A and B are shown apart, each in its own frame.
Chain A
Amino acid sequence: MRNPLSDKAVQLQPSGIRKFFDIVNEMDDVVSLGVGEPDFDTPWAIRDEGIYTLEQGRTFYTSNSGLKPLREEICRYLYRRFSLTYDPLTQVFLTVGGSEGIDTAFRAMLNPGDEVIIPEPCYVSYAPCVRLADGVVRPIRLQEKDQFRLTPEELLDAITDKTKMLVLPFPNNPTGAVMEKEDLEKIAKVCVEKDIFVLSDEIYAELTYTGDRHYSIAGMPGMKERTILINGFSKAYAMTGWRLGYACGPSGIIRQMIKIHQYTIMCAPTNSQYAAVVALRDCDEEVAKMREAYNQRRRFLMNAFKEMNLPCFEPEGAFYVFPCIKEFGMSSDEFATRLLREQHVAVVPGNAFGESGEGYIRISYAYSIRNLKTALSRIDKFITGLRAEKE
């Protein structure tokens, strides 16, 4: 028989999380701090709307780009929250989670050999999606000393004459880093000068905890026409399983993305789209409540690490902390495996998010304080043991 597989698919790296997932699954009594989704239920008003529209029998395809009222609501929301202006008819479409928008953007914008700069550590799907679109990945290793922010110097260093796009994943999973307005201005300047497009993944935009609200690079001078903004309902509204996101950008790019979307997906889930209208219209307060709860947990964790003497950069967004475990002289993978085997706490090794995540672990605080307390006391026991071993 001939080889049934595509080389491209076979060459994709399997996710670094998979291995842990398999171990975790065969253990009981595991306290997991390993999830990348909110612990809150979707606010009831949203679920109620979903139920209602099912009862009404609104179960058909929507237009390829999604329900018009929802696109209008998204544009109003982006203006209200981030002062961004988009045309609901030509510059926005609904996707199956933020993930589809990421994939589609690369497929619509890359020619074979085009380079895409990806700051790491970051969410795991950018690099594989670039490769599937025949692009070439250029990682930038972000540094803890820069608070895991992207600097214009690093960007300039990575740019070649083949560079076409930059991925901007802030607020960041797994580090919790954010880019402030001044940081973005500098990056925007480089992008305009070097004629580079930006895929700005702002799925955690609602979850920032210090200083100003989130800023989008799409709002910087000269950037709207070269930015694809990815956002969605999963994180802010605790709607991961509803699979609904959206992409905004210049109509010329969005038109091509919708063409791909039309042939591969048809449209985002209808039920989720109706429910999302309520999310944007009526749930600001619910989002604020969840944000406050995350912030309390974030402070709680930071304080606990301080007491354990575990160095941890202070995250300002998303719902992850990214403590440094270099003092123990073992790899992230080894640390996470032993923590799981010995204390039954599941965390994600930092290198799952790119090589520069080596020496770190990702801890999610999408858990109740009670849960976090149990996990922290086990982590404390674990590192106390490691330190004693060393002496």
Chain B
Amino acid sequence: MREQILQLIEKDSRISMKELAVMLGTSEEIIANEIASMENEGVICGYHTLIDWEKTNVEKVTALIEVRVTPQREQGFDRIAERIYNYPEVQSVYLISGGYDLLVILEGKTLREVSLFVSNKLSTLDNVISTATHFILRKYKDDGTIFQKPEKDERILMTP
């Protein structure tokens, strides 16, 4: 049940409790309880909206930054990750296996703003060895949703 609820609200967080109950063949009460417990347990961390900012007039720059760091005694990568993710302009921080350690996704208004963040704040942290910044030119698909795809039903309107 939980997995089914999550799959549905992951695609549409605005779906109502009643609709969920109908579609999953259960009661509204059970759905409400499951969702409440998942919120409490931190399984559900928020209800966000997926926006294609390119279609708005808002200027935004997104960068992926590869960060190599020296892990700290007893705390591994957690401490340094925390120092990075506490900046509000940082969208995501992932610990990565392979050629570097942390992948930082950063949003800023301009290239200059992002560059300044990297050079002034990120690179200067004690345990950061090096950074490589990649700017995102276009988002084709995000969180399982294709941005450019027009929703058109190609089917013949009536078939047996």
Q: Do B158 and A300 touch (CB < 8 A)?
A: no
List 20 contacting pairs A-B, 8 Å CB cutoff, sorted by A: A17-B159, A17-B160, A25-B157, A32-B157, A32-B158, A35-B155, A35-B157, A35-B158, A36-B159, A36-B160, A37-B159, A125-B160, A292-B4, A299-B22, A299-B23, A300-B23, A346-B157, A348-B160, A353-B160, A369-B23
User: Do A24 and B157 form a contact, CB below 8 Å, given A296-B24, A299-B25?
Assistant: yes
Residue of B nearest to A23 (CB): B158
Task: Give the B-binding residues of A (Cβ under 8 A).
Answer: 15, 17, 20-21, 24-25, 30, 32, 34-37, 39, 123-125, 173, 292, 296-297, 299-300, 303, 346, 348, 352-353, 369
Q: Do B22 and A300 touch (CB < 8 A)?
A: yes
Residue of A nearest to B151 (CB): A368
When chains A and B are docked, how far (Å) is the Cα of A383 from the Cα of B155?
Answer: 27
Residues of A within 8 A of B153 (CB): 32, 39
When chains A and B are docked, how far (Å) is the Cα of A296 from the Cα of B157?
Answer: 22
When chains A and B are docked, how far (Å) is the Cα of A299 from the Cα of B155?
Answer: 24
Residues of A within 8 A of B159 (CB): 17, 34-37
Partner of A37, one of B4, B19, B155: B155
Chain B interface bracket (under 10, 10 to 19, 20 to 34, 35 or more): 10 to 19
Report the minimum CB–CB distance from A32 to chain B (whole Å): 4
When chains A and B are docked, how far (Å) is the Cα of A37 from the Cα of B155?
Answer: 8
- Would you call B43 an interface residue if the criterion is a C-beta within 8 Å of the partner chain's C-beta atoms? no
Report the minimum CB–CB distance from A283 to chain B (whole Å): 18
Report the minimum CB–CB distance from B11 to chain A (whole Å): 10
What 0/1 readout, one digit per residue, does chain B (138-160) give for beta carbons within 8 Å of chain A? 00000000000000010111111
Q: Do A30 and B157 touch (CB < 8 A)?
A: yes
Residue of B nearest to A362 (CB): B160
In the complex, the 7 A-B pairs of residues with the closest C-beta atoms, listed nearest first: A34-B158, A296-B23, A303-B22, A32-B157, A124-B160, A21-B158, A36-B159
Residue of A nearest to B7 (CB): A292
Interface centre among B25, B158, B159 (most CB of A within 10 A): B158
Q: Which residues from 59 to 100 on chain B have a C-beta closer than 8 Å to any C-beta of chain A? A: none
Residues of B within 8 A of A173 (CB): 160
